Amino acid sequence: MKENSVEEYQELDKINLAKELTEQGILIFCKNLVKNYEIGDFIVKAVDNVSLDVNDGEFVVIEGPSGAGKTTLLNLIGGLDSPNSGTIYNQGVKITDMDQESLALFRLINSGFIFQNYNLISTLTAEENIMFPMNLSGMKFEEQRSHAVKLLKKMRLGDRREHLPFQLSAGEQQRVAIARALANNPPIILADEPTANLDKKTSLFIRDLFKELKSSEKTIIIATHDDDLIALADRIISFDEGKIVEEKQQPN
Ligand X SMILES: Nc1ncnc2c1ncn2[C@@H]1O[C@H](COP(=O)(O)OP(=O)(O)O)[C@@H](O)[C@H]1O
Residues at the interface with ligand X (CB under 6 A)? 37, 39, 44, 46, 64, 66-72
Closest C-alpha among 111, 89, 27, 52 to residue 62: 52
Q: Minimum distance between the CB of residue 190 and ligand X, rounded to whole angstroms?
A: 13
CB-wise, 70 or 107, nearer to Mg ion? 70
Per partner kind, with CB cut-offs from 5 to 8 A, the member of ligand X, Mg ion, none near residue 123 is none
CB-wise, 89 or 115, nearer to Mg ion? 115
Element (DSSP H or E) covering residue 207 = helix 200-215
Q: Minimum distance between the CB of residue 118 and ligand X, rounded to whole angstroms?
A: 16
CB-wise, 71 or 125, nearer to Mg ion? 71
Q: What is the DSSP code string of 86-115? A: EEEEETTEEGGG--HHHHHHHHHHHEEEE-
CB-wise, 6 or 39, nearer to ligand X? 39
Dihedral of the alpha carbons of 178, 114, 58, 81, in degrees to the nearest 10: 150
Q: Is the backbone of residue 226 left (phi > 0), alpha (psi -120 to 50) or beta?
A: beta
Per partner kind, with CB cut-offs from 5 to 8 A, the member of ligand X, Mg ion, none near residue 174 is none
Q: What is the DSSP code string of 120-187? A: --TTS-HHHHHHHHHHHTT--HHHHHHHHHHHHHHTT-TT-TT--GGGS-HHHHHHHHHHHHHTT--S
Per partner kind, with CB cut-offs from 5 to 8 A, the member of ligand X, Mg ion, none near residue 68 is ligand X
Q: What's the rounded Cα separation, in Å, for the pair 131 and 142?
A: 10
Edge-to-edge order in the sheet of strand 59-63:
111-114, 188-192, 219-223, 59-63, 235-240, 243-249
Q: Minimum distance between the CB of residue 18 and ligand X, rounded to whole angstroms?
A: 28
CB-wise, 30 or 126, nearer to ligand X? 30
Q: Which of residues 23-82 bind Mg ion (CB under 5 A)?
A: 70-71
Q: Which of residues 167-226 bind Mg ion (CB under 5 A)?
A: none
Q: Minimum distance between the CB of residue 241 and ligand X, rounded to whole angstroms?
A: 9
Per partner kind, with CB cut-offs from 5 to 8 A, the member of ligand X, Mg ion, none near residue 18 is none
CB-wise, 21 or 222, nearer to ligand X? 222
Q: What's the rounded Cα separation, in Å, for the pair 127 and 151?
A: 9
Q: Minimum distance between the CB of residue 94 and Mg ion, rounded to whole angstroms?
A: 26
Q: Which of residues 71-130 bind Mg ion (CB under 5 A)?
A: 71
The residues binding Mg ion (CB under 5 A) are 70-71
